[in-house]
Each structure stands twice: as structure tokens, then as C-alpha cells.
Amino acid sequence: MGKKANKKGTTKVPPRKDIAQNRKALHEYEILDRYEAGVALTGTEVKGLRESGAMIRDAYAQVINGEIFLIGAHISDYGPAGGRGHDPQRTRRLLLHRREIDKIDGKLSEKGVALIPLRMYFNDDGRAKLELGLGRGRTQYDKRVAIKDKEMSRELSRANARRGRS
């Protein structure tokens, strides 16, 4: 289902479809490491993701009894499900390998490190995935420096583009 054949017989892989992004996290945290995790969802949650998306801005992940859970993410209701839908704010289990969970748990024991969801998307097979980031909180000074660096690189790329046109 993930691959489509075109007229010449070669297969074409569709691009990943982003459901939600947490742009605020990239500003608030310095991302040390990234992980891809599956999300244990019910049927109406998957349909709700496809229909109207999710919000992960205020969400975070936590290790509880050797498993990682996503807390505070909002997945919209699926309208046609009526009253038999899901709780939009429920805690959802994340699917990672044991060694990844152990590594994350060890890093979370350090001071100032948090596990933040960065983006949620459907992969090529149509499964919902969550990109997690191990992040250390930035100070106000660090945030200003990051903004300044981003603006400088943007101006450089604009200057190079203008120089290439003439």
C-alpha cells in the first residue's frame, strides 16, 4: 500500500506526511539526540490523526516502569465515531527497542535533560511515528544567540542567491 507503480513499472515511494510539529521545542531546547518511536493507538485515534491531526506542543515523554509514555498530546476525535471515540488527552505508550529505552532512561537521569516530542508523521507504510528528542533547556542568552545565528545564515543564503542570479 505504501508504494505506487507508475507507467514505466518502477515504484515510487510517497513522501512522509507530517501530522504535527513542535517548533517551540527547537527554540526552547538544545536537541542532543533524536529517536523514532512508534505510537500505540486505537482505531479512532488513527482516523482522527488522518482527518484533523494532533497537537504535541505541550506534550512530553516519560519513562515509567521501563516503558516510555507520551503525556499531554492531544489527538482530535474522529467525528463519525460518535460517543464511542477515544479520550483526546490520554497517555499513550511509545514503542522503542529495549536498549534505546535503557539509553534514554540513563540520559534522563542527568540534570536538565528532558524527552520532548519533535514531530509526528505517517511513515511510508502508513504507520504513525513520533520523533523524540533528548533536549537540554536553553537559557535566554542561548536563545538569543540561536536566533542571531539563524538570521545570519538566512542573510548569507539570500546574498548567495542574489549573486548567482546576476
CA distances from 138 to 17, 92, 118 (A): 29, 27, 16
What cell was used for 156?
A: 548569507
- The pLDDT assigned to 5 comes to 53
Count the alpha carbons within 13 Å of 59 in the hemisphere toward its beta carbon. Answer: 29
Domain boundaries, the chain: 15-139
What is the 8-class DSSP label of residue 139? P
- The pLDDT confidence band at residue 149, using thresholds 50, 70 and 90, is confident
- Predicted model pTM: 0.73
Which residues fall within 8 angstroms of residue 132, CB to CB, at 6 or more apart?
34, 35, 36, 37, 61, 94, 104, 115, 116, 117, 118
- The pLDDT assigned to 8 comes to 55
Give the class (CATH, top level) of 15-139.
mainly beta
- The pLDDT assigned to 163 comes to 82
Is the torsion defined by CA of 1, 52, 58, 92 positive or negative?
negative
Percent of the chain surpassing pLDDT 70: 86
- The pLDDT assigned to 145 comes to 85
